[in-house]
Amino acid sequence: MSGKFSRRDALKSMVIGSGVLSLGGVASSFAAINLIDEKQTRFSGENIKHSVCRWCFEDIPLKEFSKICKGFGIEAIDLLKPSEWETVEKEGLVCSMATESFANIVHGFNEPKNHKKLQEQYKGLIEKAADHEIKNVICFSGNRHGMDEETGLKNCVEGLSPLLDYAQSKNVNLVMELLNSKVNHPDYMCDHTHWGVALAEELGADNFKLLYDIYHMQVMEGDVIATIKNNHKHINHYHTAGVPGRNEINDTQELNYPAIVKAITETGFDGYLAQEFIPTYKDKATALQEAIEICDI
């Protein structure tokens, strides 16, 4: 372990000392370092498949960001729209969670009036995803808008069931994200693991899964490791961020990410763990490198 940290520190010293670890020059800097010793800049991904959410680093051009990710050994980028897929594919990465502008957190499948339009839109996205061999497409419950949870669950079953049959024929999963309604997404319905699990069990489809966002569920319910262990069969994707603040996942925040990732791997998980923290470091690439280091158990 000590050798691992010394390589990271050596890398940071080399790049920061050169004065080129800026958003504009970071890709060329890491490319040069890779030529010196690829092993010093890439993480193994031996026990976990690394991904990262695009929106947290959207001020870095996607092509350049893809090169940075590739240099770190990150295999995928999350929450990309179809117009962005080819850019990352050309850099040897994949989209680990597909989305599109119509995928709406507030207006989702718990409202019957949304079903017809969402089903049409999602079928198009699922077909595109299948053409690119993308396995996961994100979806949302929607906000409560005064609706009780039982009614919302029933409505989601009615709206999602036809889509799941179509997605199954395309070898695509629909993945509903668990989000907190306490801080970031007031009134969101799928805000507790038990509700998402109840929906998954009611649907009874192998290609409906949950995106367990560690940050959101720590804010909402805590007990992260036990919850993961008890419900892992319904989870095929994870997001990270520090609590409180949704920033870096280092020891400035309350979650023990090495222990959480270890628990995830012990369930036999073979999907992606995607970083979704909002960087506070001046150099965002360094923040991402640190997060991958923490989770590369």
On average, the pLDDT of the chain sits at 89
Cis peptide before 244 (omega within 30 of 0): yes
- Residue 16 pLDDT > 60: no
Gap between the Cα atoms of 248 and 44, Å rounded:
21
Domain coordinates in residue numbering, the chain: 44-295
The number of beta carbons lying within 10 Å of the beta carbon of residue 204 is 10
Are 163 and 124 within 8 A, CB to CB? no
Radius of gyration of the chain (CA): 19
State the DSSP H helix or E strand holding residue 66, giving kind and residue range, or none if neither. Answer: helix 62-72
pLDDT tens per residue across span 228-256: 999 999 999 999 999 999 999 999 999 99
Gap between the Cα atoms of 195 and 91, Å rounded:
38
pLDDT tens per residue across span 201-221: 999 999 999 999 999 999 999
Are 242 and 213 within 8 A, CB to CB? no
β-bridge partners, 272: 49, 237
Cα angle for residues 256, 191, 74 (degrees, 5° grid): 45
Q: In 3-state terms, what secondary structure has residue 77?
A: strand
pTM of structure:
0.87
**Homologous superfamily of the 44-295 domain (CATH):** Divalent-metal-dependent TIM barrel enzymes (3.20.20.150)
Are 72 and 110 within 8 A, CB to CB? no
- Residue 25 pLDDT > 80: no
pLDDT tens per residue across span 142-181: 999 999 999 999 999 999 999 999 999 999 999 999 999 9
CB under 8 A, 24+ apart: contacts of 6-13: 7/39, 7/40, 8/289, 8/290, 8/293, 10/40, 11/40, 11/41, 11/289, 12/286, 12/289
User: What's the full length of the chain, in residues?
Assistant: 297
